[in-house]
Structure formats: C-alpha cells, structure tokens
Amino acid sequence: MDNDAVIDVTDLRKSFNGRVVVHDIDLLVKKGEVFGFLGPNGSGKTTTIRMLCGLLTPDSGHGTCLGYNILTESAKIKQHVGYMTQKFSFYTDLSVEENLNFIASVYSLDNRKARVTEIMRQFELTTRRNQLADELSGGWKQRMALAACLLHEPDLLLLDEPTAGIDPIARREFWDRIHALSEQGITTLMTTHYMDEAERCTRLAYIAHSELIVTGTVNEVIASTELKTWEIKGDITTRLLQQVKKISEVTQAALFGRQIHVCGFNSYKIEQGLQALATDHDISWQKIDSTLEDAFISLVKETNGELG
C-alpha cells in the first residue's frame, strides 16, 4: 500500500436491482490532491463516492479510505470525511447557526459553540448567522455547506457537483478555499461537469458506463485520447461550421469566438477537406493543442459507441 494514499480501492463494484452501477473500479488518491471525477450523468460517480465514505457497502472489491477498511470500518471513515451532496441537504427552516450547531452535535464535537463561531468567522457567515438557510442564495448555501463539511476538521472532502448553480465569483472563492485546504494537506475528491474546474484539479479520472476509462493529470488525460485539433481563422460563419462538420473523419467542430475548433484523428483526410473548403472560403488553419473539453467530448462519444 502507498503510504501517501488517502483512497486506495480495488475492484469496487455495486449493483442495484441487477444493474451494475459501478464496475470493478480501481482508484488511488494521494494526500493533498484535488482529484476530479468526470463522467456523464448516471455513470456511477455518486455511487462510488458514497461507497468511499461509508454510506454504501460495495457488493465486492476491497481497499481503504484514510487507512480504514471500506468494508468493515465505515463508521470510522465517516468521522474523518466531509461529504457535500449535490443537492442542498440542510434544514431550510433553521438558521445558518442552528444548522451548524446541529452538525456539531451529530459529530459530538467538544467546544461546540466556539467551533461554530470560528467556522462562521472563517466563511464570513457571522452576519448571516440568524438567516434561515432557505433564504440564502445559491452561493451562500454552498458556502454554508462547505463550512459544515469542515466543522469536524476532516482529512478528506468528498464533494458531489459542489458548484452547480452558483455564480462565477462564488465558484472562484470556492476554488481558492479548496486549494488552500490542499496546501494544509486536506485531500479533495469531487465530481464536476465544468471543464475549467476540472483543469484546476491535480489529477482526474473519467468514468463512463460504470467503468473507469482513464486516470491521470490533465495533460495525461488529453494525451490518452490521441486527439488532434485545428484552429480555423478567417471568414468564419455558422454556414462554414456546418460544412466543416461534414469533412470526412471530423469527429467534432465548434465555434470558439471568431475561430472554429475542429477535432479528429486522421490528419491527412481532415486537412484535405480543409484545403477543399479554402477554395471557396477565405480561411487559414493551424494545429493547436487539444483542450480538456475537446478530450472530454471525444471520450463521451467514444464510450457511447459513436466513434471507432
């Protein structure tokens, strides 16, 4: 076992009503990492997280989370994990302070009042302490939820779509906090659909149809697709975009500002098609590095059987 491993599981599997939701997943996450879990809806991300934090028992597989056996020591895991669900899961008819006090009592924390006061100070919730949770905006709800996750000083955060529905400023503040926690040695495993957020993770895993497809850094995930990308400049129109999409071997094409990004695997045929379009359109093109979004869309299409 890796001494720096916070999560180290092998052959993790879970089924519901005879349908396999997580299929023999291996996952290694090290201390202090910000680990991004990507994949389409229904791919098994949330189920995996719930097995890791002790809310679900795997049908098979084995491993540890924070050094505790995921099969036999789930109660101990829960004491050291902060889990933030996709949907706001606090009492909407209680105030911010009342919700935090309730969480503190669930964990049987000592110095409860002082801890709640301090976490409200850290998250700038003091002036909203008496506000009902239901009256908070999306950004403030997310801030309160993260404060509640950290109240018992966990070593691992498991966050399920934590920034869904909040504004860009709140998202940036959230990421500043996550990276600061990483510097303190706190590990984060989070699901996200935002590619700009995924690029801020130290490592990523892509899951589709219940199976782990690829794991690595952003650059390693992009490289694993072997995808090639071109940037087209010039007289860019939506009509041209539709023509580009019809080029043989083009797997995806989209407008990016005043350019078109086009992706595929067969350089010869794609550039041949671009040259043919250039006879009727004032355009130029060059190869560029594929983005994580390009790679993600390619992986989604490939695992859905639309490629190959």
Q: What span, in angstroms and rounded, lies between the C-alpha atoms of 78 and 71?
A: 13
CATH superfamily of 228-289: RRM (RNA recognition motif) domain (3.30.70.330)
Instruction: Give residue limits of the domains in the chain.
Output: 5-219, 228-289
Percent of the chain scoring above 70 in pLDDT: 97
Cα–Cα distances in Å, from 19 out to 11, 70, 209, 303?
Answer: 16, 22, 11, 18
Convert the pLDDT of each residue in 71-117 to its tens digit. 999 999 999 999 998 888 899 999 999 999 999 999 999 999 999 99
Residues 6+ apart with CB under 8 A from 299: 206, 208, 213, 214, 225
**What single DSSP character describes residue 49?**
H
Q: Are 34 and 182 in contact (CB under 8 A)?
A: yes
**What single DSSP character describes residue 265?**
S
pLDDT at position 2:
58
Average pLDDT, the chain: 91
Return the closest-CA partner of residue 207 out of 199, 215, 217.
Answer: 215
pTM, 2 dp: 0.85
pLDDT at position 305:
45
Q: What is the dihedral of CA 151, 155, 161, 165, to 10 degrees?
A: 30
Who has greater pLDDT, 278 or 88? 278
Q: Are 162 and 146 in contact (CB under 8 A)?
A: yes
Q: HSE (CB half, 13 Å, CA atoms) of 264? A: 21
Q: Are 243 and 279 in contact (CB under 8 A)?
A: no
Q: Which residue is listed with tokens 């349908």?
A: 19
Q: Classify 5-219 by CATH class.
A: alpha beta
Is pLDDT above 90 for 307? no
Matching CATH topology for 5-219 and 228-289?
no
Convert the pLDDT of each residue in 199-247 to its tens digit. 999 999 998 888 899 999 999 999 999 999 999 999 999 999 999 999 9
